[in-house]
């Protein structure tokens, strides 16, 4: 099975942008609304200040004390401004700053995750492609070696008639552990070979009706061979693969398949987007609610 060339980092980033960009845009929109929210809340504090000034003035008139400059108790109003209004205003602005910082940190986290996922995907594609290229080189070498192998058995490509009679053999039995059929392959002289070698020998002896490696695996799988069923998920007709799980090494090698293995960490590259709950950004809605209760902002 052909493996496509690995994509560039920019191509992968462009593809996964549909996953990450909406999250970033949502956070950016939230940041843009902060000034408007702060302005509304500052207006509420100012209105509360004016209400407090009115209460101070009314109290002073009832007491008949503290009246100056046309009947306005400036000292008490200044005290309220310094001790209540200004701290509330400062905390409100600080809350806005911290909320914006929190949201920007969330955006940076999303972009970092996007970059990390793209780099991991690119690495995986490169390793898979390199393994495929290596399998092609090995396949070419294997084709050359099969001729040498047959000659070592006393065969000759010039003696196709005699060789066609000498077919490799399959012996089947019962697999006690799985209940399916077990397969044993031998060459022309009864020497054990694996499934990939059997296919090469079979096709050399029977060029008019060739057997593909995956056809053999499918036949084996249909008869209950667990290893063959597993190999069909990874191996091509050239008996090569790239990026198979490392825990399947013994099963694939038993069938004569060759290639590269990747660990679970290499294969399971996370593309899971970052989920950011805006309501949990520090010092935003909860702090505002506290300010409302503390200073009576409507």
Q: What is the mean pLDDT of each run of 10 residues along the chain (298 residues)?
A: 84 92 94 92 88 82 60 80 88 90 94 94 91 77 58 46 59 72 83 88 82 91 89 89 85 88 64 45 45 44
CA distance 221 to 67: 100
Helix (H) or strand (E) holding 25: helix 9-63
Helix (H) or strand (E) holding 193: strand 192-193
What pTM does this model have?
Answer: 0.44
What is the DSSP annotation of 115-157?
A: HHHHHHHHHHHHHHHHHHHHHHHHHHHHHHHHHHHHHHTT--T
Please check whether residue 272 lies inside any domain of the structure: no
Same domain for 159 and 263: yes
pLDDT recorded at residue 173: 75
Same domain for 259 and 156: yes
3-state secondary structure of 83: helix
Please check whether residue 126 lies inside any domain of the structure: yes
Helix (H) or strand (E) holding 32: helix 9-63
CA distance 29 to 221: 55
CA distance 211 to 214: 9
3-state secondary structure of 23: helix
pLDDT recorded at residue 122: 92
Same domain for 155 and 260: yes
Tell me which residue range forms the domain holding 52. 9-131+280-295
pLDDT recorded at residue 1: 60
Same domain for 164 and 260: yes
Please check whether residue 2 lies inside any domain of the structure: no
Same domain for 288 and 235: no
Whole-number Cα distances in Å, 269 to 114, 190, 204, 266: 11, 46, 42, 6
Same domain for 150 and 94: no
Please check whether residue 105 lies inside any domain of the structure: yes
Q: Domain total for the chain?
A: 2
* Residue 170, strand partner residues: 185
């Amino acid at each position: 099975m052909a493996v496509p060339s690995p994509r560039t980092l920019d191509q992968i980033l462009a593809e996964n942008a549909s996953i990450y960009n909406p999250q970033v845009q949502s956070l950016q929109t939230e940041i843009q609304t902060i000034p408007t929210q702060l302005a509304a809340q500052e207006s509420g504090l100012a209105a509360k200040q004016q209400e407090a000034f009115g209460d101070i003035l009314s109290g002073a008139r009832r007491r008949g004390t503290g009246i100056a400059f046309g009947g306005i108790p400036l000292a008490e109003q200044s005290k309220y401004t310094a001790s209540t209004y200004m701290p509330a205003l400062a905390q409100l602005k600080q809350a806005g700053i911290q909320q914006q910082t929190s949201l920007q940190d969330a955006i940076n986290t999303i972009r970092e995750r996007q970059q990390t996922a793209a780099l991991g995907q690119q690495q995986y594609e490169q390793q898979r492609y390199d393994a495929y290229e290596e399998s092609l080189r090995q396949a070419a070498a294997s084709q050359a070696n099969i001729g040498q192998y047959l000659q070592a058995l006393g065969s000759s490509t010039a003696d196709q008639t005699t060789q066609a009679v000498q077919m490799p053999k399959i012996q089947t039995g019962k697999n006690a552990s799985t209940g399916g059929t077990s397969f044993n392959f031998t060459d022309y002289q009864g020497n054990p070979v694996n499934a990939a070698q059997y296919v090469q020998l079979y096709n050399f002896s029977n060029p008019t009706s060739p057997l593909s490696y995956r056809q053999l695996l499918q036949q084996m799988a249909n008869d209950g061979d667990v290893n063959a069923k597993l190999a069909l998920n990874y191996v091509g007709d050239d008996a090569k693969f790239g990026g198979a799980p490392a825990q399947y090494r013994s099963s694939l090698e038993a069938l004569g398949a060759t290639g590269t293995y990747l660990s679970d960490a290499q294969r399971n590259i996370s593309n899971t987007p970052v989920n950011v709950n805006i309501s949990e950004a520090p010092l935003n809605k909860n702090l505002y609610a506290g300010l409302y209760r503390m200073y009576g902002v409507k």
